[in-house]
Amino acid sequence: MKIVIPLLLLLFSPLFPQDTTEQVIDFETIKTMNGRQIYETFCAKCHGIDGKGNIPEEIKQNWDVPPPDFTDEYFNTREPRKDWYAVIKYGGPVRGLSQTMPAFGDVFTDEQIYDVIEHIKSFVDQKKYPQGELNFIRAHYVTKAYVEQEALLIPTYTYKFENGHNVSDTKVLLYYANRFATRFQYEVKLPVQNLKSSVQNTTGIGDFELGLKYAFYDNYKNLSILTAGFEFSLPTGNEAKGFGKGTVVLTPYITGAKGIGEKIELQGSVKIEAPVNKSKGNPELIYGISSTLILPEGKRGIFPGIELLGMKNLGSSEHMISLVPKIYIALTKRGHLAISIGREIPIYGGTPFKYRYVGFILWDYVDGGIFSGW
């Protein structure tokens, strides 16, 4: 039996006023189509056969957004297949995108949808770029393995007893990261700090930091990624006032992440922080493990987690370990704006402070402005 689907045509007809090719396709035919055929039949009129979105002006004249360029390497590879599946099945708004991207509902089977996605993915050589499936939720201390295009504000509030006074130490790190080449990322960090007690109230900048990393291994099928990186800080802070380390510090590190099913993300990093001027302190081994629970189905929602942070002085027996229970809240349907907060609790090797809160506000600036995607 052949069932024609004028529904699809109805759906598209207002969008294609010029479309006179009254193409009627029946379900039986659709069922036999592979990803490429589906793309060329149902998607190419808006996205272009080559995926670049170069389509006639009259088609997109009433659109609120232009079609994306699927041949843009970073864009194509950073979008997880699961998110594209949702957009194709339920339409653009499910991920905070335009409703011009229609919902195809049950027109295709799940296998067909994933096959269309592979066709779109084939516009870029996927093996060259780390895959978006491995862009796990950012931790506070564990360094992220995925290469990012992000801006963050990272506040830390510490209340401690020092030199006979209660001191509140507020630090805000301005952080910017961007990618280059296939698998590299650079980042810059500038801390602004305030120290306040009954005898002082000083604000200043801390040590300016630069970082570079390279994601040398990734496999989105078994959800794992490994990255090596290097950071160095310059003594731009006024050490006498309590800001910065007073020397260049070199920090090589390695970081990795692994998804356990769809619900748990594990991340870990190991670094060595080595002051160049040895009189300013011994090198330290800093390690961390983070786990995050993926509770929401979509991108927006609450993601609880916990981190373990260890700091081992390599020139003495000093070794401190703390736990950081935390909560990450993604605010938008694209997940590109988020806040996270945690409390650091020392559990071994002494209590260097009475309490400490860590936080960040994150903006994936390539996924849209701060007012889009809500």
Both tokens of 322, joined, read: 């703390």
CB-based contacts of 250, cutoff 8 Å, min separation 6 = 230, 231, 232, 273, 274, 276
| Minimum separation from the CB atom of position 111 to ligand HEC (A) | 14
Of the pair 47, 140, the CB lying nearest ligand HEC is at 47
Of the pair 47, 258, the CB lying nearest ligand HEC is at 47
Of the pair 104, 243, the CB lying nearest ligand HEC is at 104
- Per the rule left: phi > 0, alpha: psi between -120 and 50, beta: everything else, 252 is beta
Distances from the Cα of 44 to the Cα of 54, 120, 316, angstroms: 10, 10, 64
Q: Measured between alpha carbons, how far apart are the two ends of the chain, in Å?
A: 43
Of the pair 100, 291, the CB lying nearest ligand HEC is at 100
| Minimum separation from the CB atom of position 9 to ligand HEC (A) | 12
Distance, in Å, from the CA atom of 178 to the CA atom of 366, rounded to the nearest integer, reads 10
| Minimum separation from the CB atom of position 209 to ligand HEC (A) | 32
Of the pair 116, 331, the CB lying nearest ligand HEC is at 116
Residue-by-residue DSSP string for 348-374? ES--SSSEEEEEEEEE-GGG--TTS--
Q: What are the residues binding ligand HEC (CB under 6 A)?
A: 15, 38, 42-43, 46-47, 63, 65, 67-68, 79, 84, 87-88, 92, 97-98, 100-102, 104, 116
171 closest CA partner among 209, 206, 210, 197: 206
Distance, in Å, from the CA atom of 364 to the CA atom of 23, rounded to the nearest integer, reads 40
Of the pair 46, 358, the CB lying nearest ligand HEC is at 46
| Minimum separation from the CB atom of position 49 to ligand HEC (A) | 12
Of the pair 92, 288, the CB lying nearest ligand HEC is at 92
| Minimum separation from the CB atom of position 15 to ligand HEC (A) | 5
| Minimum separation from the CB atom of position 358 to ligand HEC (A) | 31
Alpha helices in the chain (DSSP H): 6-12, 27-31, 35-38, 44-47, 57-60, 73-78, 81-90, 110-121
CA dihedral over 124, 125, 128, 133, signed as positive or negative:
positive
Quick count: other Cβ atoms within 10 Å of Cβ 86?
20
| Minimum separation from the CB atom of position 340 to ligand HEC (A) | 23
Distances from the Cα of 27 to the Cα of 4, 127, 180, angstroms: 7, 35, 45
